[in-house]
Amino acid sequence: KEVFLKVDNLSKHFPMKKGVLSKQKAAVKAVDGVRFEIYKGETLGVVGESGCGKSTMARLLIKLYEATEGSIEMEGKRIESLNKQELKKFRRDIQMVFQDPYASLNPKWTIKRTLLEPLKVHGIGSRNERIRRVKEILNAVGLNESYAERYPHEFSGGQRQRIGIARALILNPKLIIADEPVSALDISVQAQVINILRELQQEYNLTYLFITHDLSVVEHIADRVIVMYLGRIVEVSTTEKLFEKPNHPYTEALISAVPEVNSEVKKERIILSGDVPDPANPPSGCAFHTRCPYSMEVCKTKRPELQSINEQQQVVCHLYDHNNIIGAMEEKKKK
């Protein structure tokens, strides 16, 4: 498997004033020491409740935000060190699809103008070539060419999201970051948009980072999944394994809440106590310890590290420290 994007120790802290009288400055660690890889051609899902840092991470990846710490490498090159020329190419290679296509489309522009704009900005093709490309891309997302002359308000939510996808695709990107792309759509339309995304992935050799709070959506599109909680990764797994056996207590609770249509096994729904803590003031140790049904003493003080369970799964949880100890002892015996 070829690594397309490599994220190492990525953090984004937003400064915050702590009250008028206090000179003390605090920071919200929206993304806190995140590391992962995206392989070429895969769909990597990112899951977590709202406020867990998913969208901030997306904005770091497209360089809309500067990282406080850490590095991002695309195809082996650090994006912080790109020169002007390379940066321009980078801005073509990574495109975004947003949750609310209506808010991200200019209401005063025809679809044609919206789709032509990125081609103009990047100086791609002659006028005729650009128009041909617009038609081609509208067809690719299952929209009629004649729609090019219409305005966003003339379309349904699902059609507007297709337009959002067309705009992301028109520059022939390598990676598409989709931030809750189907969350605003009806269930039946969600399936259509997901199917379109899958078809386009095949046709154009795309890599996807698919951000959602909805695990049932991720189940249908992702090859692998990252689970985030309060700005940190808590679990990384292939989608199949994740649903078969989630390792992190947080993932376990999330999955227990996904309604199962075809399963005979009835899962016990795990209700987490309490709300998601204030990201400005996250709990010490394991940030999940205030809500975790398995919380131990060590969880309150010691921050767990990412560790491998097997080739497909990694977890950040002290419950697995013991396995490490046993593993180490067995290693010793062999020697």
Enumerate binding residues for Mg ion (CB under 5 A): 55
Shortest spacing between CB 308 and ligand SF4, in angstroms:
16
Helix pair 127-140, 111-121: axis angle to 10 deg:
120
Stretch that binds ligand SF4, among 50-58, 87-95, 173-181, 281-289 (CB under 6 A): 281-289
Q: Note whether 296 binds ligand SF4 by CB under 6 A.
A: yes
Which CB atom, from 107 or from 274, has the smaller least distance to ligand SF4?
A: 274
Taking the C-alpha atoms of 221, 174, 42 and 165 in order, what is their torsion angle to the nearest 10 degrees?
0
Within 10 A of 256 (CB to CB), how many other CB atoms are there?
15
* φ and ψ of 156, to 5 deg: -80, 170
Which CB atom, from 51 or from 249, has the smaller least distance to ligand SF4?
A: 249
Q: Note whether 272 binds ligand SF4 by CB under 6 A.
A: no
Which CB atom, from 178 or from 315, has the smaller least distance to Mg ion?
A: 178
Stretch that binds ligand SF4, among 28-36, 164-172, 214-222, 316-324 (CB under 6 A): 316-324
Q: For ligand SF4, which residue of 236, 292, 313, 314 counts as binding (CB under 6 A)?
A: 292
Residue 33 φ/ψ region, left for φ over 0, alpha for ψ in the -120 to 50 degree band, beta for the rest: left
Binding mask 214-253 for ligand SF4 (x = CB under 6 A): ----------------------------------xx----
Question: Residue 21, class by beta-carbon neighbours within 10 Å (0-12 exposed, 13-18 middle, 19+ buried)?
Answer: exposed
162 close to 142: Cβ distance less than 8 angstroms: yes
Shortest spacing between CB 171 and ligand SF4, in angstroms:
41
Which CB atom, from 112 or from 232, has the smaller least distance to ligand SF4?
A: 232
Q: Select from ligand SF4, Mg ion, none the partner in contact with residue 174, using the beta carbon and a kind-dependent cut-off of 5 to 8 Å.
A: none
Within 10 A of 103 (CB to CB), how many other CB atoms are there?
11
Q: Looking at the chain, how many residues does it have?
A: 335
175 close to 2: Cβ distance less than 8 angstroms: no
Which tokens in the block code for residue 329? 């002892």
Which CB atom, from 270 or from 296, has the smaller least distance to ligand SF4?
A: 296
Place of tokens 């200019």: 106
Q: Which residues here bind ligand SF4, judged by CB under 6 A?
A: 248-249, 286, 288-289, 292, 294-296, 299, 304, 317-319
